[in-house]
């Protein structure tokens, strides 16, 4: 009986050595480890070779796919309303860049979370905690350097966009015929996008109060509850608040400017598309804040001239004579 058992063990060992390409177990482990570390091909006992892509190449491919996908989303998916001013295309450039970066980060982070939830999920029979992993210096450098570069790029590019929109133009002069030394506290002045017709600026005085906007045209002494402007002509708004903080926001113009009591604010733009666009107060200003709305009406130059003539106040004859005698 012992002879039969010994013979059976010898036959089994012989068959195992014949079926295995690595009779020496230690040698097999050494070669398998070498292939895993230095080659994309890993040997399996079943005789099937499994391709293992190096992590560096896999990371590069995933990064390229994310970058191309984010670029496509940023350039082809538009979440903004129609552009109706000369400022809008410049602002839209910044929005597309930010939307592209946001899409890449969102897809990458969500994809990594989903992969981690599936790949490292708790298996049946596992009762203990997972393996604690810490101290990956290359990964820490990567996730510190990449956000720093992205934030620096966005900051510099945003500054360039703001400058091109006229945000860095000095505002210490007055366009409304008032005191020349009056301080303009903030806003967007006539920038390079409006330099072609800088001498044809239409001045409008804007008064914000609870809960309405009033628009006054000093040249024709017109007061209106709507802002009427001609297309393709630079407009300069001199805005003041009478009570609390308000905001002048026209989404189609890509413009939003806070109006602070006691601080005259200037806002310049050039409308390019005729139509009616909502003016919204974007600062909480009281219980009826949601109803503080108005309309900017962009008309053709001919239609605006007609509206202006119909609403302009003629100077009284006695006032004209007084001015002439003086």
Checking 126-135 for CB contacts under 8 A at 24+ apart, the result is none
pLDDT of residue 234: 92
pLDDT of residue 113: 94
pLDDT of residue 114: 95
Matching residue, tokens 């905690």 = 129
Per-residue tens of pLDDT for the chain, all 326 residues: 444 444 444 444 444 444 444 444 444 434 333 344 444 545 454 555 566 778 778 888 888 999 999 999 988 988 899 999 988 888 899 999 999 999 999 999 999 999 989 988 888 888 888 777 777 888 889 889 989 999 999 999 999 888 887 777 665 444 444 444 445 545 555 544 444 345 689 999 999 999 999 999 998 899 999 999 999 999 999 999 999 999 999 999 998 999 999 888 888 899 999 999 999 999 999 999 999 999 999 999 999 999 999 998 764 544 443 333 33
pLDDT of residue 83: 92
Q: Are 158 and 150 in contact (CB under 8 A)?
A: no
pLDDT of residue 1: 47
Instruction: Identify the CA nearest to 286 among candidates 245, 226, 250, 251.
Output: 245
Residue 188 falls in which region: left (phi positive, over 0), alpha (psi -120 to 50) or beta: beta
pLDDT of residue 59: 82
Q: What is the CA radius of gyration of the chain?
A: 35
Tell the CATH topology of 186-314: Immunoglobulin-like (2.60.40)
pLDDT of residue 32: 39
Whether this prediction's pTM lies above 0.75 is answered by no
Give the integer Cα–Cα distance in Å for 166 and 268. 8
Instruction: Identify the CA nearest to 90 among candidates 269, 278, 277.
Output: 269
pLDDT of residue 217: 95
pLDDT of residue 166: 74
pLDDT of residue 163: 83
pLDDT of residue 273: 95
Give the integer Cα–Cα distance in Å for 249 and 258. 9
Strand ranges (E), the chain: 41-42, 50-51, 186-188, 202-209, 212-217, 222-224, 227-230, 235-241, 246-250, 255-259, 265-269, 275-280, 293-299
pLDDT of residue 48: 59
pLDDT of residue 196: 39
Strand ranges (E), 15-161: 41-42, 50-51
pLDDT of residue 49: 58
List the domain boundaries for the chain.
2-51, 55-119+139-164, 186-314
Q: What are 237-292's pLDDT values in tens digits?
A: 999 999 999 999 999 999 899 999 988 888 889 999 999 999 999 999 999 999 99
pLDDT of residue 55: 77
């Amino acid at each position: 009986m012992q002879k039969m058992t010994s013979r059976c063990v010898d036959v089994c060992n012989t068959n195992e050595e014949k079926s295995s390409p690595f009779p020496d177990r230690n040698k097999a482990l050494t070669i398998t480890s070498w292939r895993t570390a230095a080659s994309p091909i890993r040997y399996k006992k079943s005789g099937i070779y499994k391709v293992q892509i190096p992590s560096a190449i896999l990371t590069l491919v995933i990064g390229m796919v994310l970058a191309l996908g984010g670029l496509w989303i940023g350039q082809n998916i538009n979440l903004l309303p129609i552009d109706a001013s000369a400022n809008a295309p410049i602002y839209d450039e910044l929005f597309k860049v930010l939307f592209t970066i946001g899409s890449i980060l969102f897809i990458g982070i969500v994809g990594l979370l989903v992969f981690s939830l599936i790949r490292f999920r708790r298996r049946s029979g596992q009762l203990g905690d997972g393996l604690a992993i810490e101290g990956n210096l290359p990964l820490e450098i990567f996730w510190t350097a990449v956000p720093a570069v992205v934030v620096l790029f966005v900051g510099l590019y945003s500054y360039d966009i703001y400058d091109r929109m006229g945000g860095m133009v000095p505002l210490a002069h007055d366009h409304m015929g008032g005191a020349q030394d009056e301080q303009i506290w903030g806003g967007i002045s006539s920038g390079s996008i409006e330099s072609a017709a800088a001498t044809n600026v239409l001045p409008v005085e804007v008064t914000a109060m609870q809960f309405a906007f009033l628009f006054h045209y000093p040249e024709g002494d017109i007061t209106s509850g709507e802002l009427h402007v001609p297309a393709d002509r630079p407009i300069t708004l001199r805005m003041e608040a009478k009570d609390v903080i308000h905001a002048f926001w026209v989404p189609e113009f890509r413009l939003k400017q806070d109006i602070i009591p006691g601080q005259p604010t200037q806002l310049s733009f050039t409308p390019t598309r005729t139509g009616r666009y909502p003016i919204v107060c974007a600062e909480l200003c009281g219980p009826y804040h949601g109803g503080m709305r108005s309309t900017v009406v962009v008309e053709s130059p001919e239609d605006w001239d007609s509206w202006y003539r119909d609403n302009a106040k003629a100077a009284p004859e006695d006032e004209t004579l007084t001015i002439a005698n003086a």
